């Protein structure tokens, strides 16, 4: 059922109101989200300093036992080293570095000798490029003071948070969006399904909802099954047992550029869901922020509907 996709005459007003809503949230809450992350990250960096004897011992054993320290070590150099640059400088296995970065672990099938050699090379590069303006005690006989250690940890934490500031803000905004949906639904008699209940998306009782549920789909050819994560799945109170629940993807954006780069993602999800579960699938967006008419027109052409967060009561038009 068309809710907003067939009303282009309203898009300009909604775009402006949505951008204003996002900006208001950003000014009030984004600094808090970043600050909380920075505090936690600073503590993690301080622990890395302990593990590496204050950056004086980056031995293979340290990296092997604590692969999670690698992002911190990359930000401790002058200049900070990107993942691919570290791979090239050290001449080590790309799989090793990327596994340490993404999974905080060591590749299980890598031979012991090759692992030790590569970890030695990584440690050597880090030690050569460690930033002396941050770790001011290096090269001096005096041990680092508590103030120097905390200052160094704060600087490295700033670098780490700067590298991931957009995901931090996006995650905080998504949590807030899902909380808004939860509040709206519960006020109308809906109940959230907990993960421990083990209910599959196509067996949800009416009047229930769930967040971040995986929906299995077969890819073209039918040989491979993958899980599509859906932010919010709602089974309307007045639905029949054989009806599919309604899917919503929470989307937020702080500028127009990134939304147009990512707009195909939703179309791909819609196509996969409909090819597996039929044309009755309702896959929609819950929008807050900078989504221009180009983005909206693209999604409308794909048959994807949306609800603006500043007009959350439009959820009722889906029969919810």
d(CA 320, CA 315): 6
The pLDDT of residue 200: 83
Please give the structure tokens belonging to residue 218: 């077969």
The pLDDT of residue 74: 94
* 246-253 β-sheet, strand order: 191-192, 208-218, 225-235, 246-253, 283-289, 305-308
What's the pLDDT band for 203 if we cut at 50, 70, 90?
A: confident
Other CB atoms within 10 A of residue 23 CB: 14
What's the pLDDT band for 214 if we cut at 50, 70, 90?
A: confident
CA angle 24–25–30, rounded 5-degree value: 125
Distance of CA 67 to the CA centre of its chain: 21
Give me the numbers of helices (H) and strands (E) for the chain, helices first please.
10, 6
Cis amide linkage into residue 168, ω under 30° from 0:
no
Other CB atoms within 10 A of residue 318 CB: 16
Strand partners, 260: none
8-30+166-318 topology per CATH: Trna Endonuclease; Chain: A, domain 1 (3.40.1350)
d(CA 290, CA 181): 19
Torsion of Cα atoms, 62 then 63 then 68 then 72, to 10°? 90
d(CA 278, CA 271): 10
d(CA 282, CA 318): 9
Average pLDDT over residues 189-204: 83
Question: What would the pLDDT profile of 234-249 be if each residue is shown by its tens digit?
Answer: 999 999 888 999 999 9
Please give the structure tokens belonging to residue 57: 């011992």
d(CA 267, CA 215): 16
Is there a contact between 5 and 308 (Cβ–Cβ < 8 Å)? no
φ/ψ of 305, rounded to 5, equals -95, 170
d(CA 49, CA 54): 4
d(CA 154, CA 175): 26
Question: What would the pLDDT profile of 59-97 be if each residue is shown by its tens digit?
Answer: 999 999 999 999 999 999 999 999 999 999 999 999 999
Average pLDDT over residues 166-189: 92
Domain boundaries along the sequence of the chain: 8-30+166-318, 33-165
d(CA 177, CA 296): 19
Is there a contact between 97 and 149 (Cβ–Cβ < 8 Å)? no
Distance of CA 261 to the CA centre of its chain: 16
% of the chain with per-residue pLDDT over 90: 56
Mean pLDDT, all residues of the chain: 89
Alpha-helical (H) ranges within 130-255 are 146-163, 165-186
- Between 20 and 261, the more confident residue is 20
d(CA 318, CA 220): 30
CA distance to 168, 241, 256, 276, 297, per residue, from 263 (Å): 20, 32, 11, 21, 10
Average pLDDT over residues 198-216: 87
**Any idea what DSSP says for residue 193?**
P
Q: Which of 262, 289, 31, 41 is nearest to 169 (CA)?
A: 31
Kindly tell me if the per-residue pLDDT of 288 is higher than 80: yes
């Amino acid at each position: 059922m068309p809710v907003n996709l067939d009303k282009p005459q309203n898009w300009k007003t909604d775009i402006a109101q949505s951008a204003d809503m996002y900006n208001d949230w950003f000014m009030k809450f984004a600094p808090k989200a970043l600050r909380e992350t920075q505090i936690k990250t600073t503590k993690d960096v301080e622990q890395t300093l302990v593990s590496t004897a204050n950056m004086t011992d980056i031995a293979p054993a340290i990296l092997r036992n604590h692969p999670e320290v690698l992002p911190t070590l990359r930000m401790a150099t002058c200049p900070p080293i990107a993942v691919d640059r570290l791979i090239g400088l050290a001449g080590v296995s790309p799989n090793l570095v990327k596994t340490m970065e993404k999974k905080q672990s060591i590749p299980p099938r890598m031979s012991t000798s090759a692992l030790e050699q590569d970890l030695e090379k990584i440690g050597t590069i880090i030690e050569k490029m460690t930033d002396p303006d941050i770790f001011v005690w290096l090269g001096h006989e005096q041990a680092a003071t508590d103030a120097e250690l905390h200052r160094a940890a704060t600087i490295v934490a700033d670098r780490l948070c700067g590298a991931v500031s957009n995901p931090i803000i996006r995650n905080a905004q998504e949590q807030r969006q899902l909380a808004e949906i939860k509040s709206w639904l519960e006020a109308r008699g809906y109940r959230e399904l907990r993960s421990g209940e083990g209910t599959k998306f196509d067996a949800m009782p009416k009047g229930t909802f769930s967040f971040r549920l995986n929906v299995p789909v077969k890819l073209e050819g039918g040989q491979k099954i993958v899980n599509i994560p859906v932010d919010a799945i709602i089974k309307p109170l007045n639905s029949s047992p054989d009806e599919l629940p309604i899917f919503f993807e929470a989307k937020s954006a702080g500028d127009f550029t990134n939304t147009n780069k990512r707009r195909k993602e939703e179309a791909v999800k819609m196509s996969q869901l409909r090819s597996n579960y039929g044309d009755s699938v309702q896959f929609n967006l819950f929008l807050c922020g900078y989504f221009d008419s180009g983005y909206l027109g693209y999604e409308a052409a794909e048959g994807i509907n949306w609800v603006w967060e500043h007009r959350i009561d439009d959820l009722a038009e889906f029969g919810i």
